[in-house]
Amino acid sequence: MSDQSPSLEVVYDPTDPMHRREQMFPRLSPDMVKRIAVYGEEEAVPAGTLLFQRGQRGADFFLVLEGLIEIFELDKFGQANVFTIHAARQFSGEMNLFNQRGILASARVAVDSRVVRVRPENFRRMVAAESDISEIIMRAFILRRVGLIRLGYGGVVLVGPGHSADTLRLERFLVRNGYPHRLIDTEVDPDASGFIACFQLRHDQLPVVICPEHCFLQNPSTSELADELGLTEIIDPNTVYDVAVMGAGPAGLAAAVYAASEGLSTIVVEGLAPGGQAGTSSKIENYLGFPTGISGQALAGRAQAQAQKFGARLAISRHAVGIDCSVQPYQLQLDDGQSLQARVVIVATGARYRKLDVPGYTDFEGAGIHYAATAIEGQLCVNEEVVVVGGGNSAGQAAVFLSRIAGHVHVLVRANGLAATMSDYLVQRIAQSSTITLHACSEIVNLEGEGRLQRVTWRHRNSGELTTRPVGNMFVMIGAEPNTEWLKDCLALDAKGFVMTGRCEEGHLLDSPFATTKPGIFAVGDVRAGSVKRVASGVGEGSVVIQAVHHYLHPEAG
């Protein structure tokens, strides 16, 4: 393109999977085709045959020998919209082949074809045994899911006001679980009026979720949405797992990867989405091996794929509400009424940010008050003033991320500064930024707004000076409260509710620093008393604890 027409210049985006089509839709070598054929059955399939359809669980893997497979979704008129075609030596599938979730698109044979059909149980054997093929498949599946998200295929439409607490709740759930969707913001999107008129909606009925197969959900709970989209897994109450990991933050995912990769039957239960608090971080720059940084969501997505590759099951949008510690195997109760059994339980439920004690605070939660700073929240802050409350790394990462979007970022801490609680690289970036102001010795005293947050007032704790600014979005990242209510009287907790590990109630040392006061129950990550609240330490604890798990399950092995 010429320098005279910069408006027409196409900017290369290295993260766009469409620039990696050879990896997204690879053509396997003849040798790989032969090896895959060993795990499946060769079939002659006539044109028009439906191979699998959207919403189906446990779809087969198909390798094309001759002919074509079309991947499609149905439009609102029931017509097939073909968006991918697999030819000879190419294969079908994406990330949902590694779990029992509902698949996102349908497939049919375009012409008379020959294929190799690999059943789910044999697909897992193939992935475990054929490492070079497994690497190609895993990379292709990850890129295909990213492509579906980018292009919106196989997804849902979310219609609602962008600043609504419920719209944000549903969008966060879809984004963090990597589910393709399109948001129609009724506050700004010109297409919104057509949708509202078509479905004869009132504004007080929003948000709604519309599926390609004509499902229509009016302001569903996250668990209802997960069920409708096939994201939840059905748990067999009679199955006894070797390991149940409660929580899918960095520590829980690391435990799942190492447990599953070492042959232990593993299930992970997560209340919202993989990643925990770390999953909401816009960029983690001091995590080993990622010199340019990585977002918490990307790190969690890779770890989730890794765990599923080794056979771990993930049950999302389900909270643990209780545990029966009096029986073996341990019995865990979930909030949807399901239960599961496990010989070992790894508590990795993490912690949540505390709330401010300010009048009217709860009125603005989700409507201006946020506990994460991702692209979803960032789109609400363009060229506006925002407030970040907190002095830890999460607050620092949020401030730096928002400074590139917002008009100005105010960081408030009660202490005299940030050095004692925040990594130095973040302290220096905040100090050097022209769009971030640190307000030390300050605290929020008043919140105002009609329907959503519009003004924030803070006070300097020494001088008493009050400052009021037109702020529509405030990010609260102060301290942590452990998610341990479900443990009740099962384990010893410290005064703040964190799980005590490493010593029995009489004070004697236990076999593992992650062992709790109940044999076979371990705690790792932020939920553990005395843990270092960093992603790397959580990953380390989650991986190391599996050694203690093996010792508990097989004490005779020494």
Query: How confident is the model at residue 12, as a pLDDT?
Result: 47
Question: What CATH number is given for 156-228 in this structure?
Answer: 3.40.30.10
Q: ∠ CA 442-422-171 to the nearest 5 degrees? A: 85
35 pLDDT higher than 60: yes
How far from each other are the two terminal CA atoms of the chain, in whole angstroms? 68
Please state, in angstroms and rounded to a whole number, the distance separating the CA atoms of residues 348 and 412: 30
Task: Give the largest CA-CA distance in the chain.
Answer: 82
Tokens of 162: 């962008």
- The string of pLDDT tens digits covering residues 270-296 is 999 999 888 888 889 989 999 999 999
Q: Go through 277-304 and write b for each residue having 16 or more CB atoms within 10 A of its CB, e for each that does not.
A: bbbbbbebbebeeeeeebbbbbbbbebb
9 pLDDT higher than 60: no
Domain span(s) for CATH 3.50.50.60 in the chain: 240-350+515-557, 354-480
What architecture is the 240-350+515-557 domain classified under in CATH? 3-Layer(bba) Sandwich (3.50)
Of 372, 367, 408, which is closest to residue 387 (Cα–Cα)?
A: 408
Please state, in angstroms and rounded to a whole number, the distance separating the CA atoms of residues 177 and 316: 9
For β-strands 385-389 and 408-412, DSSP reports them as: parallel
Tokens of 272: 């919202």
pTM of the model: 0.88
pLDDT-derived band of residue 18, with 50, 70 and 90 as boundaries? Answer: low
Query: How confident is the model at residue 479, as a pLDDT?
Result: 83
Domain span(s) for CATH 3.40.30.10 in the chain: 156-228
Classified as helix, coil or strand, 372 is: coil
Please state, in angstroms and rounded to a whole number, the distance separating the CA atoms of residues 545 and 200: 55
CB-based contact 214:300 (threshold 8 Å) = no
443 pLDDT higher than 50: yes
Please state, in angstroms and rounded to a whole number, the distance separating the CA atoms of residues 274 and 288: 20
Over residues 347-359, the mean pLDDT reads: 95
Q: Quick one: 17-122 is in which CATH superfamily?
A: Jelly Rolls (2.60.120.10)
The CA-atom distances, in angstroms, between 320 and each of 169, 220, 240, 333, 447 are 20, 21, 17, 6, 34
Would you list the DSSP string of 97-145? Answer: GGSSSPPSSEEEESSSEEEEEE-HHHHHHHHHH-HHHHHHHHHHHHHHH
The fold for domain 354-480 equals: FAD/NAD(P)-binding domain (3.50.50)
Domain span(s) for CATH 2.60.120.10 in the chain: 17-122
| Strand ranges inside 307-462, DSSP E | 313-316, 320-324, 330-334, 339-347, 351-354, 369-370, 385-389, 408-412, 436-439, 442-448, 455-460
Tokens of 177: 């679980």
- The string of pLDDT tens digits covering residues 375-413 is 999 999 999 999 999 999 999 999 999 999 999 999 999
Tokens of 529: 């008393």
Query: How confident is the model at residue 192, as a pLDDT?
Result: 83
